[in-house]
Amino acid sequence: MTTYKIDKPEKGAGIIEYVLKYLTIFIVVGFTIWAIIMFLVTDGNLKENTYMLTLYLSFGLTSLLIAYLIKQKINKNKQGTIYQIDFDEKIQSITLHLVNEYSGKDFKISIDYVNLKIEDKKQKIDIKAEQRLKIYNNTQLINVFNIPKSPWTAHPRIAMVVETFRNIAN
């Protein structure tokens, strides 16, 4: 068995930090969109109906943006962050050790070699320039392995990890 490991990520931000983050985004983006709409819609004279309509429109658009960002964050937390990868040649399976950064819970996912599918961007630059390695168990997305956006970038054998994934998937 070959194991690649980095330091386990610690539990991330709590609910108060998330609320403050998204509330700040809502206020800043909402008022910015409102100011842009007000500038484009009015030509100097401002009616109360126009004022309220543009306010509601801007906060509606901002709410959609916040809902999208929250959905992305929830999906990322459900997938977890990879901190250890075990390639077991005897039983022909890969075990991903993941941690949910929001709750701090560990979990493992095993994928047989025959079911492993990956989607990666092959670039002619250094292997660390790869942006993503999507890991699938048949057609089910298991994890999106963002190499440059994670501590895996500093792993001395990251090129071997990616190459092993490619060899197994082929």
List the one residue out of 167, 12, 164 whose CA is nearest residue 85: 164
CA distance 58 to 35: 9
Residues in the chain: 170
* 164, two tokens: 């092993």
Q: Determine phi and psi for 80, rounding to 5 degrees.
A: 85, 175
The pLDDT score that the predictor gives to residue 130 is 52
CA distance 36 to 15: 31
Residues 6+ apart with CB under 8 A from 131: 121, 146, 147, 148
Angle at 160 between CA 99 and CA 119, to 5 degrees: 65
CA distance 103 to 86: 23
pLDDT by 10s per residue, the chain, length 170: 888 888 877 776 667 887 888 888 888 888 888 888 777 777 666 677 777 787 788 888 888 888 898 888 777 777 788 888 888 888 888 888 888 877 778 888 888 888 888 877 655 555 544 567 788 888 888 888 777 667 777 777 777 787 787 788 77
Strands 140-145 and 133-137: antiparallel
The pLDDT score that the predictor gives to residue 122 is 57
